[in-house]
Structure 1
């Protein structure tokens, strides 16, 4: 949805909000508690990506300095090394690309600049507050890799775009750049990537072409929720009224709804949820109040129940595609992604199949030995690169400590191909032998998950996107 349509809808919303607000109590009185509850659940699901992104934004950017994985608005935080084996921060950590993250406030247009990236894979995922990802995020797929400048503007901006910039009109006032830069894990390559990261810059348009030093915004000492609890915990603690009030506030200011969301706005207004207006549950009929009291838990159970519907199962691998762009029929999908995989890439940028089962449907466990074999000329079809990551399961997915300190296996390990041109990878706790060491990804002693990361997958056959290429099954040795 383009920014113009969102701006138009915002104007309409503000114009009729008084009418909606006046009608809301009467409409709510005429609704049965069951009908009111259904509207509230749908509204909760609809807004979950917005609230999740906003909480994440505040927790990561309402800080006095760049530290850890956080940075003040308008400044990049760059991760210099892959996480260690004992890392327990964000589930399913990455050991293929180094992250660079910057949150922007587009009250004033901002310019993002990166240096010449050479032939290195990179992706700067552009995401707005609704968790919509740009289909044209700066990357090796969409650009030449040469040094470039990108202008980001918020809703309602009118002005001239400098000739040397590519324009990204954003649908929300706040946004995030989630950068990924390939590194092979060697000290020399870390230094090369760190030198690139040091040149990722954010500059206000008014300061373009002038000396500029980032100014850290004042820290809000009371943002209204915990700065350290997990976003899901923070959101649940808001309760029904707090959640819908934050949602209404954001939709009236920083994150106007898309034009296609008009039916949802009309439905929400029936129970008094209107952009820019307070949601007061106490003004509703007592029976309706009771029906709405536990909306967060009811809605979250529905979101969790839809987790398995995100993608299909092919050869035992869960494959999720079609993420990043969402319409009215995708509110639940968007909420599931926000809850379990925020924010998710466009499929043309990356696809992450994963599996917990072998070819017979049994759970993967380090008590067994497994192989996966690609036929000749049938390794994952990508324009970027591919990599398998091994995760142990412990209230999340985490790296597996091992003597090799190896968390992934990919072509950068120079795996040995079989005489017939096929490639066999080994997933097991004990070494398969020195002659197979480059093809081995160490497993824990207990249950584990395998994830295949495919960066910039090919979109013509053979392709995982159209289903003409499939990830081979994981086979238990001796079965």
Structure 2
């Protein structure tokens, strides 16, 4: 070996410098720089931040790896997330895998529909359901990032399921039928989470503020979430670039961050129609739910509209804000609409149509609590051609879905959908105006 090179180490050109990257010195350029960074951070980070803010709130209320059960169906004012269904009881848990695996132990649900949806930090989804695990009753959740996992032997009848984040959101849904709330509540209580590494010792930082309206709170929460949950290796360059947002120390930078954050939220709001594939009948078939990969705009819009959308194999959904002529759905001034699903969607479980206020994504406070109609509320799975009237005023007869005196949208959910629904071969019929707004009888 040449003595002149002995003991020398080759350069490592991609080893990060300890020095923070430069930012423009000119005020206008500096504002634009941070505006662009904040816009990127908002689109990339929205599902991460909004979900982590929910974790922060709920971790302050109950231990990790413990279910909290909604004992009644969602109603107006439901605060956990937007666009909830009114077909199932929800249960929510944040499962901590940082100390080792956690077993999910299930009761016998019989023929009743259920799923335990598992969401990673960026809202990518897996399901524990009859579709994915068959008759298995014990599912072992494991995380590759879990340090010090106990040596847990394989057991007969245990299904091992790797998940995407050290802390995973489990959202359980159990079908509610007619007059069986007590039975469904008992099933909720029978689902057990068993940490094999002992009780959780994880500390979750308190919420930084209103992440839906405060740029500083949003960015602080994004930093907390990424430090807790990590990120994909392929996202390292993006995450490192966004760390420049820690250098906000002057007025031009703060103006840029605020502008970028507000403009990104406005973009997401305007992009609601991009949620899926237009069917040609006014409905949009919501696509790629829970399978976002690196489609950051798609996943941000999806979560901006409502957290915890499930994959199409488990729950295929359609939404529409317009009638068959492309006119916004609006219940004011005597407007009335009719929806006829003939044939109805094929399903191994059931389907429903639910109405929400367009401005908020929340349930409207409808008379008689009629927020939804479907195959469990009138037998339309066996009565092809039956129609749904959607109006502010009660119709003379038939199935009525009450609408507010204002703009609204509809979501059609098909649980355990048939192959023609999953493939897109079946699409819902258009919403037809019977009386347009402002007409007289």
Scaled by the length of structure 2, the TM-score of the pair is 0.82
- 2:344 aligned residue (371, 376, 379): 379
Equivalent-residue separation in structure 2 for 1:358 and 1:306 (angstroms): 19
Matches within 5 A, 1:32-431: 33=30, 34=32, 37-63=35-61, 71-84=62-75, 86-87=76-77, 89=79, 90-109=81-100, 110-134=102-126, 137-153=127-143, 155-157=145-147, 159-160=151-152, 162-163=154-155, 164-186=157-179, 189-206=180-197, 223-226=206-209, 229=210, 231-233=211-213, 235-238=214-217, 243=219, 246-251=221-226, 253-265=227-239, 267-268=241-242, 272=244, 279-282=246-249, 291-292=256-257, 294-314=259-279, 315-328=281-294, 330-362=295-327, 363-365=329-331, 367-375=334-342, 378-393=343-358, 395-403=360-368, 405-415=369-379, 421-431=384-394
Q: Comparing 443-452 with 52-61, which one deviates more in the overlay? A: 443-452
Q: Deviations over 1:441-466 (max 9, x none)?
A: 233444433221111222x3x32x43
SS for the counterpart of 2:215 is helix
In structure 2, relative to structure 1, the CA distance for the partners of 1:248 and 1:17 (3 Å cut) is farther
**Shift of the alpha carbon at 1:398?**
1.6
User: Which protein has the bigger helix share?
Assistant: 1
Query: Residues 151 and 165 of structure 1 are in contact (CA less than 8 Å); yes or no, is this contact kept in structure 2?
Result: no
SS for the counterpart of 1:440 is strand
CA RMSD of aligned residues (A): 3.4
Q: Which runs of 5+ in 1 are unaligned?
A: 1-14, 64-70, 208-214, 274-278
In structure 2, relative to structure 1, the CA distance for the partners of 1:224 and 1:18 (3 Å cut) is farther
Query: Residues 392 and 400 of structure 1 are in contact (CA less than 8 Å); yes or no, is this contact kept in structure 2?
Result: no
Aligned to 1:477: 434
SS for the counterpart of 1:129 is coil
In structure 2, relative to structure 1, the CA distance for the partners of 1:123 and 1:28 (3 Å cut) is farther
Equivalent-residue separation in structure 1 for 2:370 and 2:129 (angstroms): 27
Equivalent-residue separation in structure 1 for 2:143 and 2:174 (angstroms): 24
In structure 2, relative to structure 1, the CA distance for the partners of 1:474 and 1:258 (3 Å cut) is same
Equivalent-residue separation in structure 2 for 1:293 and 1:475 (angstroms): 42
In structure 2, relative to structure 1, the CA distance for the partners of 1:19 and 1:450 (3 Å cut) is closer
**Shift of the alpha carbon at 1:97?**
0.6
Query: Residues 355 and 364 of structure 2 are in contact (CA less than 8 Å); yes or no, is this contact kept in structure 1?
Result: yes
In structure 2, relative to structure 1, the CA distance for the partners of 1:205 and 1:287 (3 Å cut) is same
Q: Which runs of 5+ in 2 are unaligned?
A: 1-11, 437-441
SS for the counterpart of 1:83 is coil
**Shift of the alpha carbon at 1:121?**
0.5
SS for the counterpart of 1:141 is helix
Query: Residues 314 and 417 of structure 2 are in contact (CA less than 8 Å); yes or no, is this contact kept in structure 1?
Result: yes
In structure 2, relative to structure 1, the CA distance for the partners of 1:130 and 1:393 (3 Å cut) is closer
Q: Deviations over 1:366-418 (max 9, x none)?
A: 6233222233xx21122331011133456443234324x43221222234699
Aligned to 1:19: 16
Q: Deviations over 1:312-348 (max 9, x none)?
A: 33311132211212233x1122222232211321121
Equivalent-residue separation in structure 2 for 1:398 and 1:55 (angstroms): 22
Equivalent-residue separation in structure 2 for 1:250 and 1:236 (angstroms): 15
Aligned to 1:455: 415
Equivalent-residue separation in structure 2 for 1:451 and 1:246 (angstroms): 31
In structure 2, relative to structure 1, the CA distance for the partners of 1:448 and 1:25 (3 Å cut) is closer
